[in-house]
Amino acid sequence: MAESKNGRHAHIVGWGKYVPSKVLTNADLAQIVDTSDEWIVTRTGIHERRIAGPKDTSASMGLIAAKEALEHAGVRPHEVDLIIVATATPEYAFPATACLIQDALGAVNAGAFDLSAGCTGFMYALAVGAQAIQSGAHKIVLVIGSETLSRIMDWKDRSTCVLFGDGAGAIVLSAGNSSGGILSTICRSDGSGGDLLIVPGGGSRCPTSHQTVDQGLHFIKMNGREVFRFAARVMDKSAREVAARAGIDIGDVQLIIPHQANLRIIRAAARALDLPEERFFINLQYYGNTSSASIPIAICEAVEQGKLNPGDHCILVGFGAGLTWAATLVKWGAPKPLHEMTRFERIYARLLYLGAGIRSRLMRALLRIESALPLPRSSDRNGKRKK
């Protein structure tokens, strides 16, 4: 997948994030399972992670991140054409979490769907969103990664519960004629490694039952060592490949934003790419592995910290369950200063979201009234009712 050939380019014009306020430190975890701060830090680099509160869900967190991203972009909800939510922890099997966010935003002109590609989900969603723009099909695409992994965690399994955290990130992609934005993308998979990282219960193969719950099949199961090997294998290769596709020398890339799973994996990639560790953006010490949310949260923080500036080449690279992996090379072009909302615009945005809530409740009420009415009978061609 390469940059648009028809003059339409997909630019990242807005970004937002949300992390729950509850911090769970390694010391807290050592009270729950047989582990230690020293073990977790030396094996993973993680010091703490955020855990969803009772009211936080993948939709509620994704919604907050999405609102912030739209605000940065100066885009109104009705201008959004498509909403893609990458998540391994959707609100429900269906409806899609993306539809819940669409409704809450009042994005009345948008299609919406969820995308499942494990921790690579956001990268896949970014690729799909960029291509929807480059093809000319859409102008504004909202791409969200949102996870409440704490709800599918086995808090008795020390080999997994120390790794993951909750949170959400979002970006707004916009069509533009100026070059830059998403320059190249690769998406890859190897389903033969599917059982290395899996939630075995609750799907069509193994539907939820007392037995599946008793056996804890609704929790994440992982072969950490094999996943580690796979990740270390694909990170540098995909970064090199995506740079070559864009015709950019890897040494000329100002920043690499990797999936935030494990510091040792990132260090292995840095060594393999012969790049200094400082070239990589790392925030996993604060959040752990937030799966599909990790890269968009990292994008937000890289911009906030001045590590991603207009004109920079940046590689995003992720890997995860499936097995899946993907990389994207972006020429960062977001204008500085960002679109700062005026007081009037803020009030207007709040009114829009309030209106979206009222509209949603009205639509539900209408549906209830409609469902209480008898169905219209089918008519024959002459307008006579069939018997």
User: Which residues lie near ligand COA (CB under 6 A)?
Assistant: 35, 39-40, 43-44, 119, 158-159, 162-163, 197, 222, 224-225, 227-228, 261-262, 289, 320
Q: Would you say 101 or 284 has its CB closer to ligand COA?
A: 284
- What residue type is assigned to position 290 of the chain? T
CB of 139 to ligand COA, least distance (A): 32
Output b/e per residue, 180-203; b: 16+ Cβ within 10 A.
Answer: bbbbbbbbbbeeebeebbbbbbbe
Q: How far is the CB of 231 from ligand COA (least distance, A)?
A: 6
CB-nearer residue toward ligand COA: 132 or 261: 261
Shortest distance, position 86 Cβ to ligand COA, whole Å: 13
Nearer residue to ligand COA within complex by CB, 76 or 233: 233
Q: How many residues does the chain have?
A: 387
- To the query of whether residue 119 is one of the catalytic residues in this protein, the response is yes
Query: Shortest gap between Cβ of 320 and ligand COA (angstroms)?
Result: 4
CA distances in angstroms from 153 to 72, 174, 191, 224, 318, listed in the order given: 33, 36, 23, 15, 21
Closest residue by Cα to residue 122 from 15, 26, 277, 42: 15
The one catalytic residue among 9, 11, 138, 259: 259
Which is the catalytic residue, given 9, 72, 119, 313? 119
Q: Which CB, 119 or 183, lies closer to ligand COA?
A: 119
Known catalytic residue: 259? Answer: yes
Which strand ranges, in their side-by-side order, compose the sheet holding 9-18?
A: 9-18, 167-176, 140-147, 82-86, 111-115
Q: How far is the CB of 49 from ligand COA (least distance, A)?
A: 13
Give 24 or 133: the residue with its C-beta nearer to ligand COA.
Answer: 24
CA distance 13 to 209: 45
Q: Rounded to an integer, what is the distance from CA 173 to the centroid of its chain?
A: 14
Which is nearer to ligand COA, 119 or 330 (by Cβ)?
A: 119
* In contact, 140 and 171? CB cutoff 8 Å: no
**Ranges assigned E (strand) in the chain:** 9-18, 22-25, 48-51, 82-86, 111-115, 140-147, 167-176, 181-189, 197-198, 221-222, 255-258, 313-320, 324-331
Which is the catalytic residue, given 9, 11, 72, 289? 289
- Using alpha carbons only, give the angle 248, 259, 167 rounded to the nearest 5 degrees: 135
For ligand COA, the closer CB: 31 or 382: 31
Distance CA 130, CA 177 (A): 14
Please, what is the angle between helix 58-73 and helix 343-372, to 10°?
140
Q: Name the token pair of 369.
A: 């009234």
List, in order, residues 6 or more apart from 337 with CB less than 8 Å away: none
CB atoms within 10 A of CB 163: 22
Shortest Cβ 321–ligand COA spacing (Å): 7
- CB of 107 vs ligand COA, minimal distance in Å: 29
Tally of CB atoms within 10 A around 128: 18
Q: Which residue has the closest beta carbon to ligand COA?
A: 224
Active site residue 382: no
CA–CA dist 14, 338 (Å, integer) = 9
Catalytic residues, by residue number, are 119, 259, 289
